[in-house]
């Protein structure tokens, strides 16, 4: 037994006061027992065994349905180390507050000790964590999202002190006293009064991004909010791309992309390594290699369908937990908005009430989720659990811009690529909080997940470009969301996005010359395969139009945003912004 682990668990038991402590071993037999307990307690509803074997539906507390960024804290001794994008609290003050709130909170409950791995077994990337929780729902979701139990204990050295320590309690679901607290200096997370998603499944955003980003800076690697996909051309050559998009920009759909029939027949293939998080390290060959540290997918259900993402639908057909979706009473199956062309005539909504289409209410919560094993994805890459990871040839950034950004461009250098990621933005939709069309800046799609000062984070990114020994990925930017005069999307998206990936692939092979613009290298109009798409020549040109006035205004906004990030922002990024603004004058 690791003495540091033993001492920590004993100290937590002493003030949480659970009735019993159960160590999770990760076995299939254990999982069946826990699922049965959850069904008996009414937390799980078993779904149709023939159509959805070993699948369950669960409903969260109505006040506990999403991440709570306003109650998420980065707690460091120096407020500047948390930076302008994080909520800061003094470590001693925050721990004192939490101890008072949580003392005795597990009285009458069982504490489950979940040992878990982030990363494939035996990988140099892999890290060990522990979550102490009073929620069996959390245990069963963590079983899917991470590699848990004995497998993690075997990887923990007896003298190791660098494991991540996580304490979680659902408390009383008091939304006013909800805390998601990170202590980077101690590799520690404490979350209270939430049982849902990234608040409670600490392996995901808390560890794999917020704490891991801090660890990555110290150890010289990157922990990023990125999908990883493989792309193989008709000649059998394969490359791997990592891509970072803000929410509502099609990240999961791209990770599981199914090429149109013409591309499949030609021999193109897309495979999935991960849909949400990438850990990237320098390999022995001086390239960046990446792993997906997760073991499952925690996907947004509404909008996922056989039309938009058939691979995701197929992934959820067994061994899946559905949270806050509707229950179709006709066949005891999960349902959510846009899952099928026609809604069920009678269902139970996410609040547990009878529902029918004529009510005019939503059956599933907009942030309802499925937790499904990654190994079940039809497009899963053969190397998705390779201990060494996969070599990354390109990094892709992207946002939702109706007029500004072209369909695709390649940045001039690593520094310019970091600038593209640092200044990334999306326009708010009607479904998002805030004014429609208003820009939300989201550096590297990591705004809610950087565990330290954003200026230091961007400096860390730039530091890779200062190393002459590295063979770094090329950096690209994409935008699937250009609109026409009536506000309609002019690019078809979804599977057709492989046409853009094809250009990126061929640029890396030096088969496309491109043309130089103020922002980077654009495709020549004949370098994108438009065959089979009903796009006029005018629309094709519009997809790559660079509006100088709009870009000048954009760069003024970027400069103001950079100024708001404080004195730790790298001067190099401001220099690039000013130089680009001058080029559009």
**Banded pLDDT at 431 (limits 50, 70, 90):** very low
Q: What angle do CA 439, 444, 449 make, to 5 degrees?
A: 95
pLDDT of 434 > 60? The answer is no
- Mean per-residue pLDDT, 177-183: 98
- Mean per-residue pLDDT, 539-554: 96
Contact 117, 151 (CB under 8 A): yes
Active site residue 249: yes
**In b/e form, how buried is each residue of 521-540, taking b as 16+ CB within 10 angstroms?**
bbbeeebbbbeeeebeeeeb
**Banded pLDDT at 432 (limits 50, 70, 90):** very low
pLDDT of 227 > 60? The answer is yes
Among 55, 105, 214, 249, the active-site one is 249
Tens digit of each residue's pLDDT (9 = 90 or more) over 188-221: 999 999 999 999 999 999 999 999 999 999 999 9
Distance in angstroms (rounded) separating the CA atoms of residues 267 and 254: 18
Q: Which of 144, 142, 155, 153 is nearest to 115 (CA)?
A: 153
Tens digit of each residue's pLDDT (9 = 90 or more) over 133-161: 999 999 999 999 999 999 999 999 999 99
> Tokens 């063979």 identify what position?
471
- The separation between CA 7 and the C-alpha centre of its own chain, rounded to angstroms, equals 33
Report CA torsion sign: 393, 395, 400, 404. Answer: negative
pLDDT for res 247: 78
Report the range of poorest mean pLDDT among 35-44, 186-195, 315-324, 426-435.
426-435
pLDDT for res 438: 79
Tens digit of each residue's pLDDT (9 = 90 or more) over 89-109: 999 999 999 999 999 999 999
- Cβ contacts of residue 261 below 8 Å, gap of 6+? none
- Give the 3-state secondary structure of 308-376: CCHHHHHHCCCCCEEECCEEECCCCEEECCCCCCCCCCCEECCCCCEECHHHCCCCCCCCCEEEEEHHH
pLDDT for res 527: 97
**Banded pLDDT at 250 (limits 50, 70, 90):** confident
pLDDT for res 545: 96
pLDDT for res 435: 59
- Cβ contacts of residue 147 below 8 Å, gap of 6+? 26, 116, 117, 120, 121, 295
pLDDT for res 210: 98
Distance in angstroms (rounded) separating the CA atoms of residues 398 and 390: 22
pLDDT for res 249: 84
**Banded pLDDT at 429 (limits 50, 70, 90):** low
pLDDT for res 430: 41
Per the prediction, the chain carries an average pLDDT of: 96
Give the percent of the chain with pLDDT over 90. 95
pLDDT of 341 > 90? The answer is yes
pLDDT of 292 > 50? The answer is yes
pLDDT of 437 > 70? The answer is no
């Amino acid at each position: 037994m690791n003495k540091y682990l033993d001492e920590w668990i004993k100290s937590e038991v002493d003030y949480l006061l659970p009735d019993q402590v159960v160590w999770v071993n990760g076995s299939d037999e254990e999982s069946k027992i826990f699922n049965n307990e959850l069904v008996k307690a009414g937390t799980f509803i078993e779904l149709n065994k023939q159509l959805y074997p070993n699948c369950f539906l669960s409903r969260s507390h109505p006040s506990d349905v999403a991440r709570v960024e306003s109650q998420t804290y980065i707690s460091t001794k120096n407020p500047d180390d948390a930076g302008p994008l994080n909520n800061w609290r003094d470590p001693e003050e925050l721990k004192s507050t939490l101890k008072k709130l949580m003392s005795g909170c597990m009285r009458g409950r069982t504490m489950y000790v979940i040992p878990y791995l982030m990363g494939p077994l035996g990988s140099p990337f892999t890290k060990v964590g522990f979550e102490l929780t009073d929620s069996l729902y959390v245990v069963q979701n963590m079983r899917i999202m991470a590699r848990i139990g004995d497998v993690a204990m075997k990887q923990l050295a007896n003298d190791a002190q660098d494991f991540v320590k996580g304490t979680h309690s659902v408390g009383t679901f008091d939304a006013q006293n909800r805390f998601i607290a990170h202590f980077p200096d101690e590799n520690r997370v404490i979350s209270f009064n939430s049982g849902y998603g990234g608040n409670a499944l600490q392996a995901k955003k808390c560890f794999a991004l917020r704490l891991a980003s801090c660890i990555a800076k110290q150890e010289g690697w990157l922990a990023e909010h990125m999908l990883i996909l493989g792309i193989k051309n008709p000649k059998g050559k394969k490359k791997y791309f990592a891509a970072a998009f803000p929410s509502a920009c099609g990240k999961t759909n791209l990770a599981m992309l199914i090429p149109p029939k013409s591309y499949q027949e030609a021999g193109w293939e897309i495979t999935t390594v991960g849909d949400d998080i990438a850990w990237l390290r320098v390999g022995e060959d001086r390239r960046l290699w990446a792993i997906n540290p997760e073991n499952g997918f925690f996907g947004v259900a509404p909008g996922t369908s056989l039309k938009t993402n058939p691979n995701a639908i197929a992934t959820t057909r067994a061994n899946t937990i559905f949270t806050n979706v509707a229950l179709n009473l006709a066949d005891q199956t999960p349902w959510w908005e846009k899952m099928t062309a026609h809604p069920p005539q009678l269902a139970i909504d996410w609040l547990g009430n009878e529902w029918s289409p004529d009510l005019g209410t939503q059956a599933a919560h907009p942030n309802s989720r499925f937790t499904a094993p990654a190994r079940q994805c039809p497009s899963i890459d053969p190397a998705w659990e390779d201990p060494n990871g996969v070599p990354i040839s390109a990094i892709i950034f992207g946002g939702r811009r109706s007029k500004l950004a072209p369909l695709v461009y390649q940045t001039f250098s690593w520094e310019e690529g970091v600038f593209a990621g640092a200044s990334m933005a999306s326009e708010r939709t009607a479904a998002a909080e805030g004014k429609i069309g208003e820009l939300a800046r989201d550096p590297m799609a990591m705004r809610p997940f950087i565990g330290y000062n954003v200026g230091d984070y961007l400096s860390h990114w730039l530091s890779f470009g200062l190393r002459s020994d590295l063979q770094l990925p090329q950096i690209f930017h994409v935008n699937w969301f250009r609109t026409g005069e009536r506000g309609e999307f002019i690019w078809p998206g979804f599977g057709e996005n492989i046409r853009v990936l094809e250009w990126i692939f061929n640029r890396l092979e030096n088969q496309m010359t491109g043309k130089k613009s103020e922002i980077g290298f654009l495709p020549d109009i004949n370098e994108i395969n438009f065959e089979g798409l009903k796009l006029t020549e005018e629309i094709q040109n519009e997809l790559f139009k660079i509006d100088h006035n709009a870009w000048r205004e954009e760069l003024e906004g970027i400069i103001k945003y950079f100024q708001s990030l404080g004195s730790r922002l790298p001067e190099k990024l401001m220099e690039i912004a000013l130089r680009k603004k001058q080029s559009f004058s």
